[in-house]
Amino acid sequence: MPGGCTTEHVWQITHREQTDQLTVLLNGVRLPRPMQIEYPRVPIDIVKMWQSIDELLVAEHAGRVCGFLDVKAEPGHDLVAVKNLIVADEMRRRGIGTALIGGANQWAHDHGHRLLMVEAQSQNWPAISFYRKLGFTFSGYNDRYYTNQIALFFTRAVV
């Protein structure tokens, strides 16, 4: 379950700082040809992350794992962060990701948290479109979060 994707769009980020002004512009750009985006973490790193997560949700279809999502509560921030969400390529667009996000929302609700946060590479247009469809709104970015890639963060209220 590699977790990558193919995209024809990316988010281009323009960042400008002046003495009394900071400007960040995200601009959706269509690429001249489809581009393959690799998942920003390798499997061994994901497994290591699982040593400190709070919950792991697994989706199964016909006796096979077809997706997973892990969450970590951020102490002092009333926030639950989805660290990894992966759905097998052949199982996408069948509601599995939506169900996993729903499970993360329920876990956050049950544990008294107020916000749910997701992350995506700025190049991962399909994931960002999915998150926005589910009501997440842009809440920030970090250009050093992934190796050589920009991470975009999106949040929504826990319902």
Q: Are 30 and 8 in contact (CB under 8 A)?
A: yes
**What is the predicted pLDDT for the residue at 55?**
96
CATH 3.40.630.30 given to domain 39-157: yes
CA distance 156 to 148: 27
pLDDT the model gives residue 2: 65
Assess contact for 97 and 58: CB atoms under 8 A: no
Q: What is the pLDDT of residues 85-128, one digit of tens each?
A: 999 999 999 999 999 999 999 999 999 999 999 999 999 999 99
Of residues 129 and 75, more confidence is placed in 129
Q: What is the pLDDT of residue 106?
A: 98
> Do 108 and 118 meet the contact criterion of CB atoms below 8 Å apart?
no
pLDDT at 59 over 60: yes
Q: What is the pTM of this model?
A: 0.90
Please name which of 28, 32, 27, 36 lies closest in space to residue 7, comparing C-alpha atoms: 36
Q: What is the pLDDT of residues 33-42, one digit of tens each?
A: 999 999 888 8
Per-residue model confidence (pLDDT) at position 88: 94
| pLDDT tens-digit map of 5-40 | 999 999 999 989 999 999 989 999 999 999 999 988
Domain ranges of the chain: 39-157
